Amino acid sequence: MKVDVLLGLQWGDEGKGKVVDVLTPRYDVVARFQGGPNAGHTLEFDGKKYVLRSIPSGVFQNEKTNLIGNGVVLDPVLFMEEAEALCNGGIDLKRTLKLSKKTHLILPTHRLLDAANERAKGDAKIGTTGKGIGPTYTDKIARNGVRLGDIYDNFPEKYGMARQRHLDRLAQLGATPDADDLKNLEEKWMKAVEYLKEYEIVDGEFLVNDALAAGQSVLCEGAQGTMLDVDFGSYPFVTSSNTVTAGACTGLGIAPNKIGDVFGIFKAYCTRVGSGPFPTELFDETGKRIRDLGHEYGAVTGRERRCGWIDLVALRYAIMINGVTKLIMMKSDVLDDFPVIKACTAYRVNGELTDRFPFSIDSDKVEPVYVELPGWQTPMSGMTSEKEFPKEFNDYIAFLEKELATPIAIVSVGPDRTQTIER
């Protein structure tokens, strides 16, 4: 049995949560492999909407095992909030959700450091989600992290050492927290750590590999997107983890030769939230229209998402890095009204045309080159089969498949589970 991976090819918020939920019935295990509560994965079914942050999007389908892998960073307080809401809604999470011992914990002081680091950067700030993601991964790589398995092993000492290091750093940044505020944060955090003990904390790498040996199948759920990958994204305006397929190997303990299909998910246009370059960004009425029609506001932070046309240079690069075998196109319905749709097929870099993603995509170095395609101007959100697709939409799909040399296996025409068309 193989492991399939579903991940974002753009700057996040492609619709990963929705499609993981749709695909889950075909798998036995669903696992998150990186990121943390910086993610906001939205699902809709039966007239209800859910936003998941640390918990895999397979939890709504009965009898499936869900795993938070070692590559994830976990905030106990946010986890408890999220988990309790699901449990109160009747989801039997304590039975189906497992957490890896090697998952790193986000401490209250990690969040304070995230804010202080951003302040120190001034205008060059990354526009992080403020969830302590960068400082937690920094500690992991610097070999100073506190892991979930540590809560059973000399925890007060491990916690205390990390806390002191963080307070020293915060003092250097002129951001020493108020003692009472910190005490409150820590009390809440410790309570949430106790709550974590109500869950099965496992050797995630064995859970996954034992499942495979027993003939079961695994779906890995990415967070963020390839353009936010710490190695291949628009560095330094990225997140602090490997969001690409390789991240599923290190973030779960899966050997590369076990990877089967890689589902690369993208919007029919493109969005980004936070700072950093975005070659196809629209600053005009069209950008605003895409934002309004697509409800492009952060699932968690409510921040306005920056909107632009689809970027095929970036997508080709993402397909290459991830080894994408099947594409999934989301939010096609958002473009239903547009008479003309643009797609960036190349960049002009220093006056020369290139279809290769360059080292820097800063706006003073890169100019997007567009082709124009006729819009379909037909409402698509009620469609249930590709037989109903208008000609112009089929032409758009054929154009993308040719440009990207990869088949589009699924088209999404609305936020609900049912608004998903397989081809």
Q: Which of residues 262-301 bind ligand IMO (CB under 6 A)?
A: 273-274
Site string for ligand GDP, 379-418 (x = CB under 6 A): ---------------------------------xxxx---
The least CB distance from residue 178 to ligand GDP, in Å, is: 33
Give which of ligand GDP, Mg ion, ligand IMO, none residue 413 binds (C-beta under 5 to 8 Å, depending on kind).
Answer: ligand GDP
Spatial separation of the C-alpha atoms in residues 116 and 135, rounded to whole Å? 10
Q: Determine which one of 13, 21, 114, 333 is catalytic.
A: 13
State yes or no: residue 56 binds ligand IMO (CB under 6 A). no
Q: Provide the sign of the torsion angle of the four alpha carbons 408, 254, 13, 44, taken in this order.
A: positive
Among 3, 7, 17, 237, binds ligand GDP (CB under 6 A): 17
State yes or no: residue 279 binds Mg ion (CB under 5 A). no
Q: Determine which one of 4, 28, 41, 336 is catalytic.
A: 41
Q: Which of residues 279-308 bind ligand GDP (CB under 6 A)?
A: 294-295, 299
SS3 content of the chain, % helix, strand, coil (to 5): 40, 25, 40
State yes or no: residue 135 binds ligand IMO (CB under 6 A). no
Q: Is 41 a catalytic residue?
A: yes
Q: Which range binds Mg ion by CB under 5 A, 8-16, 48-56, 261-269, 341-349?
A: 8-16
Instruction: Identify which of residues 76 and 294 has a Cβ nearer to ligand GDP in the complex.
Output: 294
| C-beta of residue 132 within 8 angstroms of C-beta of residue 117 | no
| C-beta of residue 422 within 8 angstroms of C-beta of residue 337 | no
**Structural tokens at position 421:** 């068309």
State yes or no: residue 226 binds ligand IMO (CB under 6 A). no
* Binding residue count for ligand GDP, defined by CB under 6 A: 24
Q: Provide the sign of the torsion angle of the four alpha carbons 381, 45, 270, 395, taken in this order.
A: negative
Instruction: Identify which of residues 127 and 390 has a Cβ nearer to ligand IMO in the complex.
Output: 127
Instruction: Identify which of residues 69 and 225 has a Cβ nearer to ligand IMO in the complex.
Output: 225
Q: Which range binds ligand GDP by CB under 6 A, 14-22, 63-71, 169-177, 384-392?
A: 14-22
The least CB distance from residue 41 to ligand GDP, in Å, is: 3
Helical (H) or strand (E) element with 372: strand 366-374
State yes or no: residue 129 binds ligand IMO (CB under 6 A). yes
| C-beta of residue 259 within 8 angstroms of C-beta of residue 248 | yes
Helical (H) or strand (E) element with 134: helix 133-141
Spatial separation of the C-alpha atoms in residues 236 and 233, rounded to whole Å? 8
Angle between helices 391-404 and 312-322 (to 10 degrees): 60
State yes or no: residue 55 binds ligand GDP (CB under 6 A). no
| C-beta of residue 287 within 8 angstroms of C-beta of residue 308 | yes
Sheet holding 326-330, edge to edge: 200-202, 97-100, 65-68, 29-32, 218-221, 3-8, 259-267, 326-330, 408-412, 420-422
The least CB distance from residue 404 to ligand GDP, in Å, is: 18
**Structural tokens at position 250:** 């290190």
Q: Provide the sign of the torsion angle of the four alpha carbons 41, 400, 277, 245, taken in this order.
A: positive
Question: Which spans of this chain sit near ligand IMO (rule: CB under 6 A)?
Answer: 8, 11-13, 35, 38-41, 126-129, 131, 133-134, 223-225, 228, 239-240, 273-274
Catalytic residues: 13, 41
